[in-house]
Amino acid sequence: MTRRGPRGDIDRKRILHAADKLLHERNSIEGIALRSVAKEVGVATNALYTYFPSLRAIWHDLGDERLGTLRPHELLDIPCRHCALQELAQRASVMARIPGTLSLL
């Protein structure tokens, strides 16, 4: 049996977008199965394994994306430590209001 390669009509970004959409709708990763993500993408569940080893890996990548919105490297250029912490807190507050974020972390 030959292993199939990546499909031209789906990619990691599309899968993450579908998972994120479900997360926004349900506000939690609880009850979202890999089958649900595959259905949202419009493919068979097994097709997702070409791009992610598990549903957990999808949640991990989405969590990384959310944490990336904090852009902590930019805070290193702020000379006032207190101001940098305030900015980080503001960014974290905005990020935390995105539906489902807290269940990813």
Residue pLDDT, tens place only, 21-80: 999 999 999 999 999 999 999 999 999 999 999 999 999 999 999 999 999 999 999 999
In a domain, 41, yes or no: yes
In a domain, 76, yes or no: no
In a domain, 45, yes or no: yes
- Report the domain count for the chain: 1
User: In degrees, to the nearest 5, what angle opens at C-alpha 81 toward C-alphas 104 and 90?
Assistant: 40
Burial of 63 (0-12, 13-18, 19+ CB in 10 A): middle
In a domain, 51, yes or no: yes
Distance of CA 82 to the CA centre of its chain: 30
Look up the domain containing 29 and give its range. 12-70+99-104
